[in-house]
Amino acid sequence: MRRTLAAFLSAVFLFLFGLVITKTVGSISHIYVYLAVLVLPSAFALLILYLYGEKGEEVNLKVTATTLKRSAFSFLPALAVCLATSLLTIGVLALFGKEKVPTVLEGTLLRKIVYYALLPAVGEELLFRYIPLRYLSKYGKKLTLFLSAAVFAISHADFFTIPYAFVMGVVFMAVDMTENSVFPSLVFHFGINLISVLFSPFNGVLWFTIAYPLTVLCLGGVCFFILWKKDKVFLTSIKTVIFDKDSLQKEDL
């Protein structure tokens, strides 16, 4: 386990180091540099794990009809939970005089979708969900769930984003563990990023600030109710992954 954990955390460090360097020198706008930051840390971890002889657990790479349906109906509830966490964080930090500055996205719409929605979703899901799900989950689901969520949150390095990203990481990994697939979190991540990109021109607009959270929370509640009525097994499995204890054998350490 120690070698597996070391390989994963080393990849996370490389990812964070790459973000710091590229943002400092301003080269993040170059597509090849951006891809290198997103892909090379995961490639490094996978190479080390291969050299260690770690085969990992099988992760389903095929998208079944059940997984597709569950991903579709759980997207808005997941978004609602993450949005509620974000609003709560903004409210708490506002009490200390901290104000969130809206992010300004540059470039054409296509460039924004590729840079800020697609590439981060694929690169981060590979590092923060696929590798832990495949190589760490056998040592304990709780360890995998909360460690992956913690490092995912830390990678965002912003007081407004860290709580939101942690909750997002827990929800994403819990659904992935339930389905034994990273497809749900990939859909969630890309979907949330895409919504942020498409609606970014309305940041700071009063009517949107009110209407958007209310719409997401209402639709998320409707989808959750549908899941509760039609697929309680799925919701129970997610609850079990997040809240129930699991065993971690000493000989696995």
pLDDT digits (tens, 9 = 90+) for 45-99: 999 999 988 888 889 888 889 999 999 999 999 999 999 999 999 999 988 888 8
CA distance linking residue 242 with residue 253, whole number of Å: 21
Model-level pTM?
A: 0.90
Domain limits, the chain: 60-252
CA distance linking residue 116 with residue 101, whole number of Å: 17
Task: Give the pLDDT score at 44.
Answer: 93
The mean per-residue pLDDT over the stretch 215-225 comes to 96
Task: Give the pLDDT score at 61.
Answer: 84
CA distance linking residue 239 with residue 221, whole number of Å: 17
Neighbour count for residue 26 (Cβ, 10 Å): 8
The two counts, helices (H) then strands (E), for the chain are 11, 0
Task: Give the pLDDT score at 127.
Answer: 95
